[in-house]
Structure 1
Amino acid sequence: MVSLTRGCFVALLYAFSAILTNTAGSRVLELSDRFLDIHKDGQWLVMMYAPWCAHCKRLEPVWSHVAQHLHATPIRVGRVDCTRFNSVATAFKVKGFPTILFLKGDQEYAYYGDRTRDEIVKFALRLSGPPVQEITKPQSFFTIKKDRDLYFLYVGDRSGVLWELYHRVANIFQAHAFFYQSHPTIVDKHAPVENVPALFVYKESSHYNFTGHNLSDIDKVNETLYKWVNAERFPTFPKVTRGNINQLYLTNKNLVLAVVEENQLEEVAPDMLEFRDMVESVIKSKREKYHDHFQFGWIASPDLVNNIAMMVLPLPSLIVINTTTNHHHIPDDETEKLTPHVIELFLEQIRNESAPRYGGNSWLVRIYRSWFEMRTTLASMWRGNPILTGVMFGTPVGFLLLICYGSFCPDILDANDEEDENASSSHMKND
């Protein structure tokens, strides 16, 4: 019986190996179109890629590190060449490369965050377990606080209105944050529990209590809890990137950004670092005053901010974006004159709607923004490689001129020939 079981196991292992081949020097599984037959078995973190895609090539070393980090978990990390296996791209409705998907049974989640090892790993780990994970030992909090810079915690029994609403919201935001549940005796001194049930968010080494609930109005609690989790799932002063800015827009807050610039080593110059820290000090010292209305952050992608502002901002600078209307505000004062007090006055003007606003969603603004982005992109390409840019855009223009020449010049020549023939005929008649 033992030999039969072992034989079946070996047969299954060889069958599975026929479907998957391990990439040399990596724990990433190279998948084929036969992946469609097994993708519902277990948990998968898969990158849909194309060999010609530059973004995919940049992601390859990161993806290898992700696979290495998740090797001891039930999550299998693989990738699919969608140029070879079009059926896989069609089945998962892949519209661009790279596309990162987490698959668990019938559930499918797309990843839209920063393409870094830590962020992708946390995304996979969040989705690999239940929406709300239970903490059963007091010492577990030390590990969680060490590994999780932000998480939500429900203290109380797994019953009642608040628990049901919390579990429902956790289902919605599972891909974006960690959700836990424990009991007062387990939590002990790790969170300031006064009444049960209680709900907290942990970030910047502090627990912040959810207080905006009155269980007599379930619909109101549900709406308030959703908004609270949606807003609190970000650090107080995060780095804003192309990967997370769209998620920050969903908070419907005013986005206060300290605009700086990083070098290739992701280092910020001392003067810009001082400006960034000064902006951060405003929200850190006046959190209760501004946190409900403003989401603070810093951004090291000036081109992204310039496209939003439709102008080239000086570095460093400050911009406030209304995420609901796409309007933005820029202080009248020069950067050198900005102090915490001046910034507070500027924020108060935004709150009472007396500050000048720019941009918006009108069709004229959209046309101008598109034109500005195109002009900026072309200018950047020209600075980076003027010869290649000239060839790329000069060649189509040259072909267009040839087509125009071939279309119109023969008509002109024919017209001249007809005039010459008419002139010759008239001359002969006169003779």
Structure 2
Amino acid sequence: MAARSRGAALGLCATVFLLDVAFCKGFVEDLDESIVYSFSYQGIASEFGVRGYPTIKLLKGDLAYNYRGPRTKDDIIEFAHRVSGALIRPLPSQQMFEHVQKRHRVFFVYIGGESPLKEKYIDAASELIVYTYFFSASEEVVPEYVTLKEMPAVLVFKDETYFVYDEYEDGDLSSWINRERFQNYLTMDGFLLYELGDTGKLVAIAVVDEKNTSIEHTRLKSVIQEVARDYRDQFHRDFQFGHMDGNEYINTLLMDELKVPTVVVLNTSNQQYFLLDRQIKNAEDMVQFINNILDGTVNAQGGDSIVQRLKRIVFDAKSTIVSIFKSSPLMGCFLFGLPLGVISIMCYGIYTADTDGGYIEERYEVSKSETESPEPVEESKEQQEPRSGDPLVPAVQEPKDVLEKKKD
């Protein structure tokens, strides 16, 4: 088997191991890891439901967890630490609670004893452990600044504060955790935008050039940060805020050329987006723009209609061709010139073959008509010859008595 493993054998004694992760070796204790080349071992790929490559899975007992985060060493090791441990980790003391607060920017805590809410919490943790940490604690362990109206309760700690789950306002617990597992303000990239698509939120992004320190660039970024911080209670259920360095990814996503700096609001669930219809000078202008989006007065662009899908196909093909020619012009000429040359030769051959075939067929019909035409021509000549000369009328036999008179 084309694999490298440490510890127990793959699929036999291993309790937890990573597929397709080579560099986790030596970083995560009590973790067996393995690289499986799925092209050679398609049975393993089929068994674990692998549909794309490379795929990173962590197998724990009868469960298989997919890694969907950034392909960096630190992020993958963090994923391995989180999933390989206990599903819900207890916090027995305030010192441990403070240690967790310093280490994790976002984490969830269940406070209380056995209850139906805890069962829902366990179910949500089993589904979302790949994204965030889940803890449990007693009321005595919670910091003094935390005030709870009722017990049991589920809290999320992030952005140097905490928020309490309210079943009546927030709905399903799992959906609430999925929405709240992000900090209120983020540095956006492709992986984050993909994950935010599961939250159903609109994403307000300040597209700036971080190397540019001009007032215009820094102002838009600070405006988005101010709205995310000061208007959280008003917008956090519908909006996620952040900024992105450069417009290259956004241009590819929107199939448009955005000028930097600007603000774009993305609806990652249906690929629609909203562009600024005003100049943003302060947080109040941004709040007004967001309210106009919510009440429908700002026109949405893009979408996932058939026309947009066809446009996406053409755009992706064009982008691929341009990128190939930019990176390697000679390779681009070979990749596209060779097929075009072969197709041109084939078309020329088909065209000339049709022309030659038509000419030969025409000559054949002419020659055939010439060979068949003499007989009727001769017959017509024979019929016309008596008309040109004296009539060749057969001699009429004279009567017998006339002949006898001639003899006499």
TM-score, length-normalised on structure 1? 0.77
Partner in structure 2 of residue 104 of structure 1 = 60
Equivalent in 128, 131, 135 of residue 84 of structure 2: 128
CA drift of 1:315 comes to 1.8
Q: Determine the C-alpha separation between the residues in 2 that align with 1:393 and 1:154.
A: 59
Out of 364, 374, 380, the position equivalent to 2:317 is 374
Query: Partner residue of 1:171?
Result: 126
Taking the aligned partners of 2:73 and 2:219, their CA distance within structure 1 comes to 28
Name 2:95's counterpart in structure 1. 139
Pair 1:422–1:162, CA change in 2 (3 A):
closer
In structure 2, C-alpha distance between the alignment counterparts of 1:173 and 1:300, rounded to whole Å? 29
In the other structure, the counterpart of 1:283 is 228
177-186 or 200-209: bigger deviation: 200-209
Cα distance, 1:310 vs structure 2: 2.6
Q: How many angstroms apart in 2 are the aligned matches of 1:382 and 1:338?
A: 41
The reply to whether residue 47 of structure 1 matches residue 2 of structure 2 is: no
Cα shift at 1:309: 2.3
1:87 matched to which residue of 2?
43
Aligned-pair RMSD on alpha carbons?
3.0
Quote the Cα distance in structure 1 between the aligned partners of 2:234 and 2:151. Answer: 27
CA shift at 1:195, angstroms? 4.1
1:102 to partner: Cα distance: 0.5
Q: What do residues 91-137 of structure 1 show as CA deviations (whole Å, max 9, x unaligned)?
A: 32322211000001211111111112232222222211232111112
Q: Summarize the Cα distance change of 1:198–1:44 in structure 2 as closer, same or farther, 3 Å threshold.
A: same
Offset of residue 332 of structure 1 = 1.9
Amino acid at match of 1:67: K
Partner-residue secondary structure (3-state), 1:98 = coil
Secondary structure of the corresponding residue to residue 163 of structure 1: helix
> AA paired with 1:243?
F
Where in structure 2 are there 5+ consecutive unaligned residues? 375-408
Q: Structure 1 374/342 Cα, relative in aligned 2: closer, same or farther at 3 Å?
A: farther
Contact 1:44/1:75 (CA < 8 Å) preserved in 2?
yes
CA distance in structure 2 between the aligned counterparts of 1:99 and 1:424, rounded to whole angstroms: 71
Per-residue displacement from partner, 1:139-190 (whole Å, max 9, x unpaired)? 1123212221110011222x11222222222222111110100012222437
Quick one: structure 1 residues 323 and 380, their matched pair in 2 at CA, closer, same or farther if it must change by over 3 Å?
same
Query: Which of 171, 177, 184 is the aligned partner of 2:139?
Result: 184
Structure 1 counterpart of 2:348: 405
Secondary structure (helix, strand or coil) at the match of 1:184 reads coil
Counterpart of 2:25? 67
Residue range with higher mean Cα deviation, 145-154 or 190-199: 190-199
Asked whether the equivalents of residues 30 and 78 of structure 1 are also in contact (C-alpha less than 8 Å), the reply is: no
Residue of structure 2 in register with 1:308 after alignment: 253
**Aligned amino acid, residue 391 of structure 1:** F
Match of 2:336 in 1: 393
Structure 2 residue aligned with 1:228, among 176, 194, 198?
176
Would you say the 8 A contact 1:151–1:203 is kept in 2? yes
Residue 162 of structure 2 is aligned to residue 204 of structure 1: no
- Give the direction of change, closer, same or farther, for the CA distance of 1:19–1:368 in structure 2 (3 Å limit): closer
Shift of 1:291: 1.1
C-alpha distance in structure 2 between counterparts of 1:83 and 1:289, whole Å: 50
* CA gap 1:268/1:149 in 2 versus in 1, 3 angstroms: farther
After TM superposition, the score normalised by the length of structure 2 is 0.81
Deviation at 1:322, TM superposition (A): 2.4
- One-letter code of the match for 1:352? D
- Correspondence for 2:116: 161
What is the total number of aligned residue pairs between the two structures?
371
Counterpart contact for 1:114–1:241, Cα < 8 Å? no
- Distance in 2 between the 1:406 and 1:20 partners? 51
Identify the range of structure 1 (82-91 vs 112-121) with the bigger mean alpha-carbon deviation: 82-91
Deviation (angstroms), 1:301? 6.4
Rg larger in structure: 2
Q: Equivalent residues in 2 for 1:246-325 (5 A)?
A: 246-260=194-208, 268-271=211-214, 272=217, 274-300=219-245, 302-325=247-270
| Per-residue deviation, residues 66-101 of structure 1 (Å, max 9, x unmatched) | 33431xx22223212233433333332322211000
**CA distance 1:367–1:109, shift in 2 (3 Å):** same
Residue matched to 1:213: 167
CA distance in 2, matches of 1:100, 1:395: 38
CA distance in 2 between counterparts of 1:148 and 1:238 reads: 15
- State the distance in 2 between where 1:255 and 1:19 align: 43
Q: How far is the alpha carbon of 1:342 from its aligned partner?
A: 1.8
**Code of the aligned partner of 1:304:** Y
2:157 maps to amino acid: Y
Verify the 8 A CA contact 1:138 1:188 in the aligned structure 2.
yes
Cα separation, partners in 2 of 1:30 and 1:303, compared to 1, 3 Å:
farther
